[in-house]
Amino acid sequence: MTLWQRLGVGLATAAVAGAAAWFFIPAWLGPPRSEPVQVALPAGITLGGPFSLIDETGARVTNETFRGRFMLIYFGFTYCPDVCPTELAKMAAALDLLGDAAEEVVPILITVDPERDTPAALAQYTDLFHPRLIGLTGTEAEIAAAARAYRAYYAKVRTGQAPDEYTMDHSAFIYLMGRRGEFVALFNPETTPEQMAEAMRRAISASPRVSKMQPQGGRT
Amino acid sequence: MITRRFVFGAVAVLALTPLALAAQDKVEIVEPWARAALAGRNSAAYMTIVNHTGEKDELISAATPVARVVELHTHMMEGGVMRMRPVQAIEVNVGEPAVLRPGGLHVMLINLTRDLKAGETIPLTLRFRNAGERTIEVPVQAAGAMGPAGHGHGHGHGHGHGHGHGPRN
Ligand SMILES: [Cu+2]
């Protein structure tokens, strides 16, 4: 009844549109699941990797910036009226459910619309959802590279004649990445905040914080 | 016909529900709400439309002073990719309410003339092919709301993040 059963349609549409410049997530998703809590990755497939982007203050950040903490990542855009607010609110609710442990997680919105989403625009927008939500933007090439690493799909769709009259199609997955930037879990739009919080809680307890102190030894 | 009207009216008055009174013989708008959003950006309005007129109708357009463009949209979720597309009209058949909700049909408020803040209401004029124009007041919920006030809609977070100040944890 849900997106899983329409996978075939999605793939066909993407292929026809020719817009899927790379192998994005739905291309390898499995058959319909009755409990779409987390999406399982097929063997040999992984997600994530290095990125270099600009944060809300205009500062350059990379995947290394967030090393040592978990990242909860969503690809969206600030002109998105409906789906992005819903997914970002779910992320915020899941973090609230985590309580103090939420400090271990950095919630991140990576824009798929760098043309309009400046650092200032992202700063204003992310505050609507969670005080710690960070918006990241970059050049078209930097955004494309980040999306490719996460196999996120996006495409500009014109809605009028003016240059700024467009919307973005985009995949609506939420990624949980580990302390070293490794892939931990993938959530789809049907995942509830409770399920997301539970997955984060499990991941955090399985990977306790590494002390910031370097081990002593060897140096004289 | 006169008798019918009288009976409907009497029931509504007895029930003391202004909504029911207004709904009689009309297109009824139930629990409208819109999302808080920033000036220059986009928002969406949602509602359930119940057709009491006895003949099929459709919502053909909408307008509000707070948005430069208003369109009727739907979403297609395909393989995890969300695609939003305009629709010509939203059918409102008798006995078959039209449900506008997040992730589906919505009245898209494009290029807002000002910030929409949670707690305020905005006027929205709905134009139906047969029933004509209706202007309603639409309450604005938090940016992350999932339904009208007082409805969690299964996600359990309601509208706790609307103002961006102070985490609740
Ligand atoms: Cu829309």
User: Which residues of chain A does B146 touch, with a Cβ-Cβ cutoff of 8 Å?
Assistant: 86, 89
Mutate to test the interface with A, among B38, B77, B161 (most CBs of A within 10 A): B161
Q: Which residue of B has its CA nearest to A153?
A: B81
Contact: B103, A83; criterion CB under 8 Å: yes
CA A46 to ligand 1 center in whole angstroms:
32
A127 is a domain residue: yes
Q: b or e along B71-109 (b: 16 or more beta carbons within 10 Å of the residue's beta carbon)?
A: bbbbbbbbbbbbbbeeeeebebeeeeebebbbbebbbbb
A166 in any annotated domain: yes
CA angle centred on A88, ends B89 and A159, rounded to 5°? 35
Task: With respect to residue A104, please indicate whether it lies within any of the assigned structural domains.
Answer: yes
The model's pLDDT over A157-212, given as tens digits with 9 standing for 90+, comes to 998 888 888 999 998 899 999 999 999 999 988 899 999 999 999 999 998 886 55
Of A24, A100, A124, the CB nearest to B38: A124
The answer to whether residue A36 is domain-embedded is no
Residues B45 and A194: their CA atoms lie apart, in Å, by: 26
Kindly report, residue by residue over A200-220, the tens digit of the pLDDT: 999 999 988 865 555 554 444
User: What is the β-pairing status of strands B98-100 and A183-187?
Assistant: unpaired
- Which domain CATH number covers A183? 3.40.30.10
Kindly give the pairing relationship between strand B81-86 and strand B67-78: antiparallel
In a domain, A39, yes or no: no
Tally the domains of chain A.
Answer: 1
Distance from Cα A81 to the centre of ligand 1, integer Å: 6
- How distant is the Cα of A129 from the closest Cα of chain B, in angstroms? 5
Residue A172 lies in a domain: yes
DSSP-assigned states of every residue in B31-49:
EEEEE-B-TTS-EEEEEEE
Question: E strands, B79-131, where?
Answer: 81-86, 90-92, 98-100, 106-112, 121-128
Pick from B79, B109, B143: CB nearest A85: B143
Domain range enclosing A61: 50-206
Res. A102 pLDDT band, cuts 50 70 90: very high
Q: What pLDDT band is residue A13 in, cutting at 50, 70 and 90?
A: very low
Amino acid type, A12: A
Please report whether residue A34 resides in a domain: no
Domains of chain B: 24-141 (2.60.40.1890)
Which candidate in B78, B153, B165 is best for mutational testing of the A interface (most A CBs within 10 A)?
A: B78
Distance B165 CA to ligand 1 centre (A): 27
> Is A13 a domain residue?
no
CB contact under 8 Å between A172 and B77, yes or no, is yes
Contact A107, A123 (CB under 8 A): no
Q: Give the pair of three-digit tokens for residue A4.
A: 């899983």
- Can you tell me whether residue A104 is helix, strand or coil? helix
Task: Judge whether B112 and B66 are in contact, CB under 8 Å.
Answer: yes
CA distance A109 to B82: 16
The residue-averaged pLDDT of B78-105 equals 91
What single-letter DSSP state applies at residue B80? T
